[in-house]
Structure 1
Amino acid sequence: MALQDRILGRVNDLIVRRPTGVVVAFLLVTALFAPGLATISTEAGTEQFTQESPAQTALDRVNEDFGPTFDAEGGSTQLIHRGRNVLSKPELLRMLRVLERLDSREELRVESTSSAASTVARTLDPSATTLDAQIRAIESASPGEIDRAVRAAADRPGFRTQLSDDFNPESAAASATIAVVQHRIPGGVDETAGMGTDSPLTSIQLRAQRVVAATDGDIVVFGSGLVAREFSAIIFDSLFIVVPAAVTLIFVFLVYAYRNPVDLVLGLLSLVMTVVWTMGFLGLVGIPFTQLLIAVPPLLLAVGIDFGLHAINRYREERATGADIRQSMALANRQLLVAFFIVTGTTVIGFSANTVSDLGPIREFGIVAAFGIVFTFLIFGIFLPAAKVTVDELFDSLGIPMPFQRPLGSEGTPLGRVLPVGVAIARRAPTAFVVLVLLGSVGAGYYGTGVDTAFSQDDFLPPEDNPDYLEELPEPFRPGEYTVTERTNFLEANFEAAQGDTVVVYVQGPMRQDDALESIQRASQHPPETFVASDREADSQSIIGVVRSHTNDSPSFARLVDRSDVDDDGIPDDNLEAIYDALLSSSARDRALQFITEDLRSTRVVYTTKGDAEQGAITRDARTVADRYRFDATATGAAVVFQDVADAILASAVQSLLIALVLTALFLLFIYHVLVDRVSLGLVNLVPILVTIALLAGSMRYFDLPFNALTATILSISLGLGIDYSAHFVHRFADEYELRLDRADGEAGTETPMTAVFPALTATVTGTGGALTGSMITTVSGIGVLVLAITPILGQFGVLTALSILYSYLTAMVVTPSVIVVWARFVG
């Protein structure tokens, strides 16, 4: 206690004796953090989550060993062409002329193009190897000749994959087609399962978009660079909608809560400083701003509003007793600094628990949020009281009265009559109520164990059509037009090949070994349910397919394979090194190297999965097939990578919650032992938040809100923010309780520990309860505006955070009084 008193005494002396110096020092620190705002970079999309996935590591090795879909030193752009019949003569010419315009632009670095129109033109005239020649071939052909060329091209590899699923060879018609433009890009393109914002394709695709937009016809540009740019735009558009809406709501409620323009300005200034410190820190240390970090400013506003209202309200309580300015602030801040320290400690623990996550963005979220809470503590615990003293003394010296200084929730006010409902329950049946609440919490928690876990790019995509209320917003708040969702949905609905329904098995081992190819064949037999199969063999692409294809093209190679096929099943199981050498020295070399490395030490097998199969089931089945291989085999591909992330999300949610619970419990037990020598009050402090977490988990399942990349943090955040309410309540009660017991000792035992409980509870709910109510209403509204964010993941996070604050407030005000009475009867 002596150390605590010395620390509090020195901080309070600094605040009340040198308030102007404190204010100037904090403003200078703000000026130091401000330049960091200009250096903040952004990172969006799913790539940031997949980078540390084991499946992504395997996929990187696949891309490194076998090359990406396109040249490793380049990138690709898709052109989506829609129409009544994209294989008609006018539409074929339209596509070829667009490709010719793109090819003629040096800045677009076009290396090659691929399209159904080019295939039809080369079918008409095999010598038409240039776009100009292909245009002439189509122009000189009759519609009937073009239809016959389409039917002839239908059997060529790759032609059908460029056309929509409604392609009809007989009528030579399709409603959509995809053309691919390959670019030469220095440094190459990093290919991962997700999408990032640092794609070198972005500027090229933006220029290509302008070129295509200037032409006739329904042709649009689509590519990873444009998607990444749109993801980045969504972040800023969301902030531009959410922040003003949050500030407006917060301002309205703070006007009511403070009821004083000077106090309102001080509170808002403190909130702005908190955001500047945190965002400036973000820029100075080089952490990129991601979708997850959009949630940090509202969280800091939630804690800052709470601290600000408590600081001003507690100060007003002391001023109402007749104490002078400095004495009132010294008394109020002496108590509040302890409460703020408890809240800060538990909240930092809750946020920091996310640093155990295997996902980098969640770790960064925990780090930034934890630092932000520390900054909030310093600003609202030291700067705001010093600024309040400075301003009040200035007004007092000028003889200007400070209006509207009545504390919130004081007796006699409408709010003051509602707040004691929890005390009323505690007077009548506290034990029964606590047992009922605990049983309900166990039920809600058990129900909540069925919450789903999900991770996909859809979480980060904007809706295909913006809601009407967003379209009604005035400029500059109205969001832009987003195309990525519409085009992604169109590709998935109309192009089976665009759905990405494949998994890759990456095999490492001596492929020269006689049974290497037999191993691939055996692994593909009797495939699991999610794999596409025919004749009880999985539909796959592998080096076996290259061997079979080249056997049809080369009689000499066919004879070599026949001599090497000991068991006569069409798969060579002898002289494999000779077969590979023949294959790699033939015209099939490029295709062979897509499936086997030149050192013959690794291969890949690509399996097709069913379109309606769930991601989790695909991953389990892919790993089952990988386990069948004799060599070291790893299942990978976009579905597997995303399932890895989903599993990491669930593990992150559970681990961070358990760590936060244990550390918070230990912290509370220790701090209450140090402060009031009552260790058990730490458990009292913990009960309401356990109830809150159980209710929140149940609500997530009831409202079908899954754990995803952002909501994975919600349980530990709920613990951190929820402790805020119960910590203020329990600490204020402890002070009031000790005060009455000390007073009873000085008055010859006129009050017992049990008779002191209810007066202390009443003083707590009418004093601290008013500030808690104002804080709850303001922060629920301020954080609730995240539902206006453009991406669904932020809306879900806003709803859950608002629910957690509401539950924390209700359990603190209604449940805590009964828990305290039970504690007083059996422990206190």
Structure 2
Amino acid sequence: MNPLRSAARTIVRYRVAFALIAVFLLVVSVYGIQKLRFESDLRTMLPENHPSIADYTALQNEFQSGDSTLIVVKVASIEPGGVYDIRDPKVIEAVYELEQRLRQREYVTDTVSIADVYMQVLGRLPKNEEEAKFVLDMLPPDERYSLVSRDYTTTIIAVTISREKKTETLVRVYRGIERDIESVKFPKNVEVIQTGNIGITYRILELLQSDLNKTMVISFILVIALLLYFYRSPVKAAIPLIPLIFGVTMTLGFMGLMGIPLDLATTTVGAMMIGMGIDYGIHVTNRYYEERKRGRSIEKAAEEAVAETGKALLGAALTTIGGFAAMYLSSLPMLHHLATALILGLSLAALNAVVITPAVIILEEDIMKRLKGHYVVPEVRSHSGVVGKAFHSLGETIRRKPATFLAAVFLITLFFGYGITQVTTEVRLEKFVPKGMPEIEALMDIRSDFGGQDELYVLLKANDVRNPAIVRGIYRFENQVKADSYYNGVFDSESIADVVHRQYGYIPSDEEKIKSALEKSQGVNLVSSDYSMTLIKFKGDFGGASMDDFRRIMRYFEEETARAQETEFPPGVKLSLTGDIYLNYVLDGLTKVEINRISTYGTAFVVLIVLLLFRKPKVSVAMITPMFLGALWTVGFMGWAGIPFTQSLAGVISMIVGLGVDYGMHLTHRFLEEMNEGNPRPIVTSVESVGPGILAGALTTAGGFLALLAGELPTIHDFGTTLAFGIFASMFAAYLVTPALLQVFYGRNTGGGRE
């Protein structure tokens, strides 16, 4: 006996026992959900063994740097009775008070503000506005406008943070600073906003949590609405929904138990599993109703549904998992987490579909018999009415004119082929937060008013960085970079060479003089405790107006750093770029590599699985061609729509490949089944019987993905839009290509040849 049919018979016979096991796992999963954690740390997105991570760790450990928050203090209105100028003594006093509160925090290592200038020049805060203006006017313009905007409506407090790279610590730091801001009474008209790395990362973390809940709820609503339409009854709509609820709950619960975090990629798993998981339940339910309509008993119909649909489901699940498994080949931990979560979720969804659905569907039929006194043969909307007629007509048209459909597909492919040339990438952290949010608006104000406050570090390693030749090299390198500020966006810089030059007016050749000048700097900000490392800090607008600007600036620093190491420093001295902004650049390079690698291997895995399962070249071509087209059209759509590849979208092609092959597989499997049974028009039967199920599955899957548009994070929007388009592209490609190819390959042998 067929192993799959034997398994189907066992599942139907012992359906209650299987259902009880599933309920037990559901209870365990509810406990696991409570252990889920959110993650927004940039370092977790990069490979642990990457050189940039080692440099970044040194930056954190030795210099207590690399993390910062910017507090923007600005005159936001001109209401009577308030202040109109940031140089008002009441504003400066409030800034000073806030700065003192911040310095009492154990994680704050340094602060810089306009109040520091007055304390250094006057030894106190200004008593009136004239005095405040006089002191600022004494400063050189570059120094003055690094603290206040040119219209004197904005100033900033730069806060350097040292903290553990944990989500819990980030939340504690952000909220602690917010409490300090709220505890200081700023004058009327003044608004205070926390932004920078800490502020933006916290906002992303907050949005991740709200987006997870919001998108899951909306996804469920969309899926329920579609099920109600197709099944005409709330009770029957619940049949494929119940296994889905089991699958989604188990997925999130096991993620919590396995320690898989919710990040920019895995936050989408809930809505994605609702969309993808319902597909399996729909196919089993539709086949059951089809068998019942043919007159089979409830147990025989359930057995037939599990056995016959199980073949396609097994192939679909394996190919989808194969596509997702390619993400394990990525070096990005985020994609490993996403792959694990999706494979786990799909496996549970498929398992619940074939195990829970028979128990639920037979229970529903038994209850209806008791209520009405007889069994009611169900009528599904997707197999009747307008939908049923449309698919019958489609099948007949393809049977007669397959070449016409293939020609149409060729023209569509040319259109999206051009879009592929327009695709870009985006990894800058600030771009993951919606425009119009206070933190982003404040960051934009900083860039326009202060020339930018992005920080980039050059880490220098040597036996002793106090060597006069090294200090002179730093001085020359630093000034060369600042001389190119028109090109690289540098606004300011700081190094041990500046400390020495301020003390002597030049860089001495006497090492003892340098040691004396740097004595107070040991282990603080610029020099490590053993003098084996030092930092050159650059501040400016490095994010750029576009990714091309960002890459250009980072390439400049890479080239200039490499040049300086070769020409400005003694042998044995090593220079390397580091900091959050540079990690974004590294991530950008890795993302490009990962897109190609994951897409190639994902496609290869899926093709290999199809060939191993079916072992017929023509059948395999009919199945996998829609997969290729769906992926190609999706990338083209991204180019036309201006959707960039991000680190969370790096695996999207592999995902679409894994999902897209399912539709061609269901159509091909039904075609082979009908052809083997001697049906003279197998292409028409397969399209009109399987087509509605594919439509229902695609609509619910895409609905789950489109629910991601309700999230606030732009990267979540892009993820949902791209995957939803990929599903529809794969579905249409399957409708147009798979039946046409099958008709071309086998039509003459089935009595349904082309006319």
Give the TM interval when normalised to the shorter protein. 0.7 to 0.9
CA contact (8 A) 2:499 2:518 kept: no
Report Cα offsets for 1:612-657 as digits up to 9, x if no partner.
Answer: 4711111221211122113432233333211211222222222111
Mapped partners of 1:96, 1:522: distance in 2: 36
1:57 matched residue in structure 2: 54
Partner of 2:683: 761
Alpha carbons of 1:533 and 1:35: their partners in 2 closer, same or farther (altered >3 Å)? Answer: closer
Structure 1's 625 and 107: CA in aligned 2 closer, same or farther, altered over 3 A? Answer: closer
Give the % identical residues.
20
Q: Which residue of 2 is the match for residue 419 of structure 1?
A: 391
2:449 counterpart of 1:494? yes
Match of 1:263 in 2: 236
CA change 1:530–1:317 in 2 (3 A) is farther
For 1:513 and 1:584, locate their aligned partners in 2 and report how far apart those are by CA, in whole Å. 12
Which one of the candidate residues 436, 455, 478 is aligned to 2:427? 455
The 8 Å contact of residues 399 and 683 in structure 2, kept in 1 or not, is answered as no
Q: SS at the partner of 1:201? A: helix
Take 2:27 and 2:296, find their aligned partners in 1: how far apart are those partners?
35
C-alpha distance 344-103 of structure 1, shift in aligned 2 (>3 A) = closer
State the superposition RMSD in angstroms: 3.5
Give 1:491's aligned amino acid. Answer: I
Q: In 2, are the aligned partners of 1:206 and 1:226 still within 8 Å (CA)?
A: no
**2:369 is matched with which residue?**
396
1:441 aligns with 2:393: no
- In structure 2, the residue matched to 1:178 is 156
Which residue matches 2:458?
505
Please name the residue that 2:210 is paired with.
237
Q: Which of the residues 33, 38, 50 maps onto 1:37?
A: 33
- Judged with a 3 Å threshold, the aligned counterparts in structure 2 of structure 1 residues 528 and 768 are, in CA distance, closer, same or farther, namely farther
* Deviation readout 1:76-104 (Å, 9 max, x if unpaired): 7736243621112343344345556x479
Partner of 1:547: 500
Q: Offset of 1:403 from its aligned partner?
A: 4.9
The aligned counterpart of 1:714 is: 652
Residue in 2 aligned with 1:640?
582
**Which of residues 14, 19, 35 in structure 2 aligns to 1:18?**
14
Contact 1:271 1:304 in 2 (8 A): yes
1:279 deviation in Å? 0.5
Secondary structure at the residue paired with 1:683?
Answer: helix
Give the counterpart letter for 1:760 in structure 2: P
1:794 alignment partner AA: I
Q: Partners of 1:371 and 1:710 in 2: how far apart?
A: 18
Structure 1 unmatched ranges of 5 or more: 129-133, 168-173, 465-481, 553-557, 565-574, 742-755
1:583 aligned partner, one-letter code: A
CA contact (8 A) 2:26 2:249 kept: yes
Distance 1:458 1:261 in 2: 44
Q: TM-score, normalised by structure 1?
A: 0.80
C-alpha change, 1:236 and 1:582, in structure 2 (3 Å) is closer
AA matched with 1:119: V
* TM-score with structure 2 setting the length: 0.87
Find the partner of 1:657 among 599, 603, 607.
599
Contact 2:70 2:156 in 1 (8 A): no
Give the equivalent residue in structure 2 for 1:484.
439
Question: Alpha carbons of 1:724 and 1:794: their partners in 2 closer, same or farther (altered >3 Å)?
Answer: same
More displaced 10-residue stretch of structure 1: 384-393 or 731-740: 384-393
CA distance in 2, matches of 1:41, 1:619: 33
**Preserved contact between residue 422 and residue 640 of structure 2 (Cα < 8 Å):** no
1:472 aligns with none
1:686 correspondence with 2:686: no
Is the Cα contact below 8 Å between 1:787 and 1:795 reproduced in 2? yes
Q: Structure 1 residue 358: deviation in Å? A: 2.0
1:443-494 CA deviation, whole Å, 9 max, x = no partner?
Answer: 6346414410111113321331xxxxxxxxxxxxxxxxx5322332332332
1:776 aligns with 2:698: yes
Distance 2:261 2:99 in 1: 37
- 8 Å CA contact retained: 1:419, 1:813: no
C-alpha distance in 1 between matches for 2:574 and 2:179: 45
Deviations 1:526-567 (A, max 9, x none): 769975479xx9975433333322213xxxxx6x82xx3xxx
Contact 2:705–2:724, Cα closer than 8 Å, also in 1: yes
Q: Does 1:220 align with 2:142?
A: no
Rg larger in structure: 1
2:527–2:534 contact (8 Å) kept in structure 1: yes
Cα gap change, 1:77/1:617 in structure 2, threshold over 3 Å: closer, same or farther?
Answer: closer
Q: 1:597: how far off? A: 4.1
Supply the distance in 2 between the matched residues of 1:715 and 1:655 (Cα, whole angstroms): 11
Residue 148 of structure 1 corresponds to which residue in structure 2? Answer: 134
Question: What displacement does 1:315 show?
Answer: 0.9
Contact 1:693/1:719 (<8 A) preserved? yes
**1:569-606 superposed Cα distances (whole Å, 9 cap, x missing partner):** xxxxxx5x444323334xxx328964444544334334
How is 1:311-710 mapped onto 2 (pairs within 5 angstroms)?
Answer: 311-396=284-369, 399-401=372-374, 403=376, 405-410=378-383, 413-420=385-392, 422-431=394-403, 433-434=405-406, 437-438=409-410, 440-441=412-413, 444-445=416-417, 447-464=419-436, 483-498=438-453, 500=454, 502-510=455-463, 511=465, 515-517=469-471, 519-520=473-474, 531-532=485-486, 541-552=494-505, 561=508, 564=509, 577-585=511-519, 589-590=520-521, 594-597=525-528, 599-607=530-538, 612=544, 614-628=549-563, 629-630=565-566, 631-673=573-615, 678-710=616-648
What CA distance in whole angstroms lies between the structure 2 residues aligned with 1:156 and 1:599? 37
Partners of 2:304 and 2:404 lie apart in 1 by 37
Matched, 1:287 2:272: no
In 2, distance between residues paired with 1:247 and 1:705? 26
Structure 1 stretch displaced more, 718-727 or 112-121: 112-121
CA distance in 2, matches of 1:265, 1:539: 63
Query: Residues 147 and 541 (structure 1 numbering): CA distance in 2 closer, same or farther, change over 3 Å?
Result: closer
Cα pair 1:532 1:538 within 8 Å, conserved: no
Structure 1 pair 652–108 and aligned structure 2 pair: CA distance change class (3 A): closer
Which residue is equivalent to 2:71?
Answer: 78
> Aligned pair count?
728
Report the alpha carbon displacement of residue 813 of structure 1 after superposing the two structures with TM: 1.3
Q: Which residue of the partner structure matches residue 189 of structure 1? A: 163
